[in-house]
């Protein structure tokens, strides 16, 4: 299946991209980039670094939004991913060209061109997708599957008490996107922060997994030195992989063992719950569901996909 990955260029985005590249039934058609973990220019550089180190064949790379739709605040996650977004592993030089078109337009054009034969995986703020939806409200109908790493569905946010980073970085965009899903026929699969927490790896298991001398293994080891420092600083006992978990669900649909179909609304108010993905669990509203909240993924399959990614 052909795939577009929309990414904000962080360490877990990198591992997710490697997973997609390593997966034999997935063809990475394009990468659209967005601000988020790091500023847009750095996110682009990081995508090129990953593609270069993995010796990926030519992939179209598109420049997307460099800020949220409404600029009330600008977040980044350099704190976790390092100043360059890859824990110091980003490479400045790359021969890979950029496409001229904006990412939002590319999403529409590629979706139409490969109607029914293309999937979408979003790993960053939903700004590019929100713009695309505004320009072409029917865009979702062209995709085969859509998987989003987004949201905190049980109010265990990682950026505020209520909100997950990809939503908090642009709540208005997320609101537009979830609203549009409600009006469409396709329900995206959602990997939330809580689902990420429910699929941890032990540091020992992860360290064993990334042993090796290949350029990809060395890149992952480099990023992991930084990530390990952050884990110790924040007293996080586990290795957590939000974007790779979303990539695993995209690559292997059968790895999903449990999911709930629910209506989600994004809070855009300027209160302590800004960026919350509010889930109507008890179906108290009459709103049509707009998401499939993935709860459980086959851990063995997930580990196997991670292994393939880092041992490429």
For Ca ion, how many residues bind (rule: CB under 5 A)?
6
Q: Which listed residue (3, 4, 12, 255) binds ligand BDR by CB under 6 A? A: 12
Binding mask 104-123 for Ca ion (x = CB under 5 A): -------------------x
**34 touching ligand BDR, by CB under 6 A:** no
**123 touching ligand BDR, by CB under 6 A:** yes
User: Distance between CA atoms of 256 and 188, rounded to whole angstroms?
Assistant: 13
Distance from chain centroid for Cα 156: 18
Nearer to ligand BDR by Cβ, of 119 and 243: the residue is 243
**35 touching ligand BDR, by CB under 6 A:** no
**77 touching ligand BDR, by CB under 6 A:** yes
Q: Rounded to a whole number, what is the largest CA-CA distance in the chain?
A: 55
Distance from chain centroid for Cα 214: 25
Q: What are the backbone dihedrals phi and psi of residue 188, each rounded to the nearest 5 degrees, phi first? A: -70, 155
Interface with ligand BDR in residues 147-166 (CB under 6 A): 149, 158, 164-166
CB of 137 to ligand BDR, least distance (A): 26
User: Distance between CA atoms of 246 and 105, rounded to whole angstroms?
Assistant: 24
**3-state SS class at 303:** helix
Binding mask 220-249 for ligand BDR (x = CB under 6 A): ----------------------xx------
Cα 59 to Cα 100, 151, 195, 312, distances in angstroms = 14, 28, 30, 18
Joined together, the tokens standing for residue 238 give 């586990």
Nearer to ligand BDR by Cβ, of 105 and 240: the residue is 240
CB atoms within 10 A of CB 8: 31
Contact set with ligand BDR (CB under 6 A): 10, 12-13, 37, 77, 80, 123-124, 149, 158, 164-166, 193, 242-243
């Amino acid at each position: 299946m052909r795939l577009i990955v929309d990414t904000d260029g962080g360490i877990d985005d990198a591992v997710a991209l490697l997973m997609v590249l390593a997966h034999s039934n997935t063809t990475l058609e394009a990468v659209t980039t967005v601000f988020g973990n790091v500023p847009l220019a750095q996110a682009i550089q990081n995508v090129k670094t990953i593609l270069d180190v993995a010796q990926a064949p030519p992939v179209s790379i598109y420049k997307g939004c460099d800020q949220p739709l409404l600029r009330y605040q600008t977040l980044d996650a350099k704190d976790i991913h390092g100043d360059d977004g890859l824990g110091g592993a980003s490479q400045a030089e790359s021969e890979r060209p950029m496409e001229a078109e904006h990412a939002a337009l590319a999403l529409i054009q590629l979706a139409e061109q490969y109607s029914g034969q293309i999937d979408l995986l979003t790993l960053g703020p939903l700004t590019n997708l929100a713009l695309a939806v505004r320009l072409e409200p029917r865009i979702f109908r062209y995709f085969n599957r859509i998987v989003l790493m987004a949201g905190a569905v049980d109010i265990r946010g990682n950026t505020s008490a209520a909100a997950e980073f990809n939503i908090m970085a642009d709540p208005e965009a997320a609101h537009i996107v979830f609203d549009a899903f409600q009006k469409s026929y396709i329900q995206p699969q959602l990997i939330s922060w809580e689902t990420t927490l429910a699929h941890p790896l032990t540091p020992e298991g992860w360290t064993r997994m990334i042993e090796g001398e290949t350029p990809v293994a060395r890149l992952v080891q480099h990023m992991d030195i930084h990530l390990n420092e952050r884990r110790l600083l924040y007293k996080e006992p586990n290795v957590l992989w939000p974007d790779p978990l979303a990539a695993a669900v995209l690559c292997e649909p059968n790895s999903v063992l449990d999911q709930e179909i629910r209506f989600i609304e994004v809070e855009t108010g300027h209160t302590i719950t800004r960026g919350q993905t509010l889930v109507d669990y008890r179906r108290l509203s009459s709103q049509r569901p707009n998401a499939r909240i993935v709860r459980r993924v086959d851990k063995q399959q997930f580990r196997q996909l991670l292994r393939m990614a880092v041992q490429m």
